[in-house]
């Protein structure tokens, strides 16, 4: 990404910090715009800020963030190597799910972040970011385990770290599998098996089905 794009990302942050486009602006402490390397090869997309994130204005600094850091380390990445953002930038009260109108109000920020950082790989953490970016209704359990071709790059959907923290050890093992896909995608080590696999993924008309080709390890 160019200096120009870095500057535009900064300008977008300034705009977001003053945003009142949805009701989530009412109870937030901080807008959690995003964090990390604007030239990253990988962008992680979570769901919404939690309490710690709201307090600090930085994504993934609470328990989920600690687990994310560990999984990053296992594929030889650190926070400084990646860029991290969420579907909605303000904390929903009591960590409730973000509502469709809130996601709608906020999604242009994310789209612009992805456009400006222009990573090789996008990793969606959990249902909200996976469904939003793949434009499908399929749940994360069925979507994960695969790297999708997505607007000329790879998208790897995986569980949200919070699911691993409250779930069985299998969830963590599945996340490790998906993070290995991320490593392979960064290194250019994925084989295209696009035409062989039926995902059962329903695609809305504004997505070119060609974009949903599959890559397996």
Residues lying near ligand URA in the complex (CB under 6 A) are found at 46-50, 53, 59-60, 62, 64, 86
Residue 49 CA to residue 71 CA, distance in Å, equals: 19
Q: Smallest gap, in angstroms, from Cβ of residue 18 to ligand SF4?
A: 9
Inter-axis angle of helices 3-17 and 100-117, to 10 degrees? 160
| CB nearer ligand URA, residue 60 or residue 150 | 60
Which burial class, exposed, middle or buried, applies to 145 when counting CB atoms under 10 A from its CB (0-12, 13-18, 19+)? middle
> Which H or E element spans position 3?
helix 3-17
Question: Residue numbers of the site for ligand SF4 (CB under 6 A)?
Answer: 16, 19-22, 24-25, 31, 88-90, 102, 105-106
| CB nearer ligand URA, residue 29 or residue 203 | 29
Three-class secondary structure of residue 42 per DSSP: strand
Q: Smallest gap, in angstroms, from Cβ of residue 44 to ligand SF4?
A: 18
> Residue 207's closest CA among 142, 138, 159, 127?
138
Q: Smallest gap, in angstroms, from Cβ of residue 91 to ligand URA?
A: 9
| CB nearer ligand SF4, residue 77 or residue 117 | 117
Residue 85 CA to residue 3 CA, distance in Å, equals: 20
Q: Smallest gap, in angstroms, from Cβ of residue 33 to ligand SF4?
A: 8
Q: 212 is in the binding site of which of ligand URA, ligand SF4, none (Cβ under 5 to 8 A by kind)? A: none
Q: Smallest gap, in angstroms, from Cβ of residue 82 to ligand URA?
A: 13
**Paired strand residues for 44:** 84, 123
Q: 59 is in the binding site of which of ligand SF4, ligand URA, none (Cβ under 5 to 8 A by kind)? A: ligand URA
């Amino acid at each position: 990404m160019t200096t120009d794009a870095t500057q535009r990302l900064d300008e977008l942050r300034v705009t977001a910090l003053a945003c009142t486009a949805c009701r989530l602006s009412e109870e937030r402490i901080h807008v959690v715009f995003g964090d990390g390397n604007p030239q990253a090869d990988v962008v992680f997309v979570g769901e919404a800020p939690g309490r710690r994130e709201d307090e600090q204005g930085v994504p993934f600094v609470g328990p989920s963030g600690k687990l994310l850091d560990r999984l990053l380390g296992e594929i030889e990445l650190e926070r400084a190597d990646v860029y991290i953002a969420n579907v909605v930038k303000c904390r929903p009260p009591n960590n409730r799910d973000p509502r469709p109108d809130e996601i709608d109000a906020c999604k242009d920020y994310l789209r612009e972040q992805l456009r400006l950082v222009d990573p090789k790989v996008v990793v969606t953490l959990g249902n909200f970011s996976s469904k939003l970016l793949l434009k499908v209704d399929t749940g994360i359990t069925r979507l994960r385990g695969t790297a999708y071709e997505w607007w000329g790059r790879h998208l790897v959907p995986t569980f949200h770290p919070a699911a691993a923290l409250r779930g069985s050890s299998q969830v963590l093992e599945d996340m490790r599998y998906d993070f290995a896909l991320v490593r392979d995608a960064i290194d250019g080590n994925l084989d295209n098996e696009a035409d062989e696999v039926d995902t059962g993924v329903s695609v809305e008309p504004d997505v070119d089905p060609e974009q949903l080709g599959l890559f397996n390890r």
